[in-house]
A and B are shown apart, each in its own frame.
Chain A
Amino acid sequence: MFHEPASQGGKDPAAPYKTRLGLWMFLVYALIYVGFVAINITAPVLMEAEIIFGLNLAVTYGFFLIVFALVLALVYTRLCSSKEAELNETDKGKDA
Chain B
Amino acid sequence: MAILIFLAFVGFVLGLSFYYGSKTKSASGYYAAGGQIHWGVNGIAFAGDYLSAASFLGICGMIAVAGYDGFLYSIGYLAGWIVALFVVAEPMKRLGKYTFTDAVDSKFNSRGIKLMAAISTLIVSLCYLIPQMVGAGVLVEPLLGMPHAAGVIMVGTVVIIIVATAGMTSTTYVQFLKGGLLIVFSLVITIAVLVRGFSTKPDQGGKVPFHEYATLAADVKDGKLAPSDAAWSVVESKAIKNHTFVKLAKDGKESWWMEEEKDGKKVFEEIQWESLKAGEAKVVNGESGGKLRQVGNLVSIAGDSAPEAKTGSVGPFEFLAKIGDKKTTVLQWKLEKFKDASGADVTVHYPYTTAGSKLMRPGVKFKVEGTILERIDFVSLMLALFLGTASLPHILIRYYTVPSPAAARKSTIVAIAAIGFFYILTLYMGLGAMTHGVVNPLDNNMSAPLLARSFGTVLFAVISAIAFATVLGTVAGLIVASSGAVAHDLMDRYMKIKMDENQKVKAGRIAAVVVGILAIILGIIFKGQNVSFLVGLAFAVAASANLPAVVMLLFWKRTTAKGIAASIAVGVVSSLVLIAMSPSIFKQFGLDPANAPIPFDNPGIVSIPLSFLTLVIVSLMTERKLAEGVTE
Contact = CB atoms under 8 A, between A and B. Distances in A.
Interface of A: 1-2, 4-9, 12, 15, 18-19, 22-23, 25-26, 29-30, 33, 36-37, 40-41, 44-45, 47-48, 53-59, 62-63, 65-67, 69-70, 72-74, 76-77, 80-81, 84
B368 A19 contact: no
Interface stretch (B29-37, B244-252, B272-280, B469-477): B29-37
26 contacts: A2-B28, A2-B492, A5-B98, A6-B96, A7-B402, A8-B96, A12-B94, A33-B386, A41-B368, A44-B361, A54-B318, A54-B324, A55-B317, A56-B361, A59-B427, A62-B71, A62-B72, A62-B74, A65-B78, A66-B78, A69-B78, A69-B82, A77-B409, A77-B410, A77-B413, A80-B409
B363 interface: yes
Top 5 A-B pairs, shortest CB-CB distance: A54-B321, A5-B96, A7-B35, A47-B361, A6-B35
Interface stretch (B4-12, B417-425, B434-442, B610-618): B417-425
Nearest to A27: B86
B357 A22 contact: no
Interface residues of B, number: 70
B378 A41 contact: yes
Contact of B79 (A7, A8, A29, A77): A29
A8 to B, nearest CB: 6
B81 interface: yes
Contact of B87 (A22, A33, A69): A22
A80 B406 contact: yes
Nearest to B493: A3
Contacts, number: 165
Contact of B379 (A22, A41, A59, A66): A41
B13 interface: no
Contacts of A7: 35-36, 96, 400, 402-404
A26 B87 contact: yes
Contacts of B360: 48, 56, 58-59
A5 B92 CA distance: 11
Nearest to B321: A54
B416 interface: yes
A33 B91 contact: no
A55 B324 contact: yes
Interface of B: 26-28, 31-32, 34-36, 68, 71-72, 74-75, 78-79, 81-83, 85-87, 90-91, 93-98, 317-318, 320-321, 324-326, 357-358, 360-363, 368-369, 375, 378-379, 382, 386, 400-406, 409-410, 412-413, 416-417, 420, 423-424, 427, 488, 492, 501, 504
A80 B405 CA distance: 11
Contacts of B91: 15, 19
Given A55-B321, A62-B427, 17 more contacts: A1-B27, A6-B34, A6-B97, A7-B404, A22-B86, A26-B83, A26-B87, A29-B86, A37-B379, A40-B378, A47-B361, A48-B324, A55-B317, A66-B420, A69-B79, A70-B413, A73-B413
B311 to A, nearest CB: 13
A29 B317 CA distance: 25
A50 to B, nearest CB: 8
A20 to B, nearest CB: 11
Most buried by A among B91, B405, B427: B405
Contacts of B410: 77
Contacts of B320: 54-55, 59
A57 B324 CA distance: 11
Contacts of A48: 324, 326, 357-358, 360-361
